[in-house]
Structure 1
């Protein structure tokens, strides 16, 4: 009996033991929830990047289609291996590839504008059946006066011309139209002179000409342009731009 009493007395002690306290909920943002937010944001950014990449790809395809319509791509890319732009394109990415194509077109059509060289190209024979060879497309470079001019001022602009012919001597006599701006204000053609005029170019050689511009007193401000050509060279043409302030 005393043993049983002790066992019963022990039961309340066990029942009164305090239950383990639950940890208080953490305050602020739960780290688990933040992980989900970051993961979702990463997925959104990744999806946006994929969409952007697809749009760029579509743009490249569209640009290539336009390039094919506007130019003879294969002829352009098969140019002289010594040309700098042609050599650059061998390891270029698609986007750079397109930019180089259009840059090459601009350079070829500008008549070596950067160095102010106007090429003289003459049609000949193809050497096979004796039929005339088609002339190269006319190139009309822009000759820009290197600084703005005021009424009464004078300026000389040197240019270089190259005779591509290996056999013919070229004698070029320069002439030009009157200078005119967008408001139909004019400066007489006589305001432009050339030294020397005419210019004689031996086969395969080049020569320099100074274009003298004299803005008359009373000339109104504006951007004036005129057309320059060689009287006896049909495909020698250029546009002169003079800004009067």
Structure 2
């Protein structure tokens, strides 16, 4: 699926001017990469932050709670993905092992307290936009049930009007979830807090470095801005002296 473009709609930038999104694409993903050491290191960073106080007090989380409240959502009922991960880590002491790439993204998300979504590019139809829903979009849960987002809800919507995330950073879709057969991936991290402009590039560098070590590819990355909101997926170059797949 060549030439997929990802962007945030102008209305999202207008209503959330503090938004700092990072995007990353890669190919050559396999379900057997060794990420345990990296996952452990990032998870330890998250544990250290939690030792100083619960995730609800983190500025990264508070910013998303304000955004959810502005959308008419109760922030303790609908939590951004990074808050849910940190809450689980605080309560259970660890994060679940699902797939090497998902595990790595979850650990980085917890370490930086920033939502990170990983989507199977081959399960997305056409371009993908973060935009307000009109209510006709179709969302597939992890259990296979179909839902329609509420009008004005923020979704990740493709050209076929399939919603690949509901309530912005609250819940991804089972349709484009990473699975053992996944080879091409789009990763999106989004932050709204005051120091996001400094923190998100650090997150992106950390994640890209860990991915390069695990899958021996150099992912394509970008920080998006309202003036340059689009990221187009194309082939990624393999790391020097290593082999990798397209993205």
With the shorter chain as reference, the TM-score category is under 0.3
The higher-RCO structure (CA 8 Å, 6+ apart) is: 2
- The alignment's TM-score, normalised by the length of structure 1, stands at 0.22
- The alignment's TM-score, normalised by the length of structure 2, stands at 0.22
* Structure with more of its chain in strand, by fraction: 1
